[in-house]
Amino acid sequence: MNSIRLEVKTCNQKYPIFIGNGIINKLSKLLKSNSINFNQCLVVADNKVPKNLIKKALKLLPKKQTTTHYFNASEINKNHKSIDKIISILLKKNFNRNDCLIAIGGGITGDVSGFAASVFKRGIKFVNIPTTLLSQVDSSIGGKTGINTKYGKNLIGSFYQPSLVISDINFLKTLPNRELICGYGEILKHALIADKKFFTFLDRNGSKILNLKSPYIEKSIYRSCSIKKKVVESDEKETSLRKTLNFGHSFAHAYEAALGYSKKLNHGEAVILGIKTASKFSVLNKLLKISEFGLIENHLNKLNLPNNINNFFTNNDLNKIMYFMQKDKKNNSKKKINLVLLNKIGHPLYNSQFKEKKISLFLKKELIK
């Protein structure tokens, strides 16, 4: 039950991230030791998390002060209606700004809960207990919250840092392999944009990580969080360096939206597809050496990770994909699309703009292979 502690320091807030096996059992102690006091707390719990694990957490909170709201987490439910339900509970129970909202679930639950916490009375305390590999290495760090609209993914949201993050590896043991692959996509992204040595570690130990073997899984989560922490601390509001965290995401978000956020493709799988697409586009533009691209492609193939967009889309989907790429929140030009690309493994390029036609022609060739 030994835990690893990371501390994130932004301009607005300082907060710890705890990583370890069974550390949910320390919930009460961690709240107290980090000065998170409240008269009331609302626990927003993902329906997909095993009830016995949620009950274990709830037992460590004061019964009279705790309200539980079960949330059916999905991209389709990541919307204003879900926010309204949470805020209605907070209003009905007369929560004040010294009270607390605790999220137990994956990235969607954390995003929705964090956004509700950020807008309720202009902000109440927020504790995130991420239960998926994806949320433990990505969405639980950095303070991005948001919801989807019919125009695209995460177009409405806020930057709102949590007061505490608790990442218990025991939650991961309940996940299907597909969910672990989903989180691995973000771990791989962090290695590709920041640390070639970490990429080499993943290349040697990827199957052990996906099988949750210790100490490989702990080291991967810690290193991945460390990379994101460093980026967020230097650029909290995504004006420069933080844009590199979007590597593969301009494509990924469009892929998800083009499929209507269906179960056919989850976020992490879309990110892996986006990583492959962005890397290949980097080669096409003579930014990335083909030998470096080969290392990435071989890694994806070795672990049998999804990496061919023509397994999910046909040319009939091209206009839809391009529509959502044009709507991406990272764009600042009507005629060009912003992409994060690679110069080499560990060295990303951001603020690269390309004409829609060039991207469309590239994707068209990829779709007919």
Which CATH number do you get for residue 31?
3.40.50.1970
What Å distances lie between residue 124 and 46, 121, 145, CA to CA? Answer: 20, 7, 14
The secondary element (H helix, E strand) that includes residue 186 is helix 177-194
Indicate the residue among 174, 189, 212 that finishes a domain.
174
pLDDT in tens, 191-249: 999 999 999 999 999 999 999 998 999 999 999 999 999 998 888 888 888 899 999 99
Are 197 and 69 members of one domain?
A: no
Residues 135 and 24 in one domain: yes
Per the structure, how many domains does the chain have? 2
Last residue within a domain, chosen from 126, 153, 174 = 174
For residue 312, CA distances in Å to 90, 273, 317, 357 come to 41, 10, 10, 22
CA distance 319 to 309: 14
Residue 342's domain comprises 177-367
Residue 46 pairs with which residues in a beta bridge? 71
**Domain stop point among 104, 139, 174:** 174
Task: Specify the DSSP element, H or E, that contains 80.
Answer: helix 80-92
Do 53 and 142 lie in one domain? The reply is yes
Return d(Cα 163, Cα 30) in angstroms, integer.
Answer: 11
Return the pLDDT at 185. 95
188 and 159 in one domain? no
Window from 4-18, 43-57, 98-112, 323-337 with minimum mean pLDDT:
323-337
The residues assigned a catalytic role are: 122, 144, 186, 228, 238, 242, 246, 249, 253, 267
Do 198 and 158 reside in the same domain of the chain?
Answer: no
pTM for the predicted model, two decimal places: 0.90
Do 147 and 163 belong together in one domain? yes
Question: Domain check: are 240 and 362 in the same one?
Answer: yes
Residue 164 and residue 307 in one domain: no
Convert the pLDDT of each residue in 53-70 to its tens digit.
999 999 999 988 999 999
| Contact criterion met (CB below 8 Å) for 117 and 101 | yes
Chain segment 156-171, per-residue pLDDT in tens:
999 999 999 999 999 9
pLDDT (tens digit, 9 = 90+) per residue, 292-336?
Answer: 999 999 999 999 999 899 999 999 999 999 999 998 878 877 789
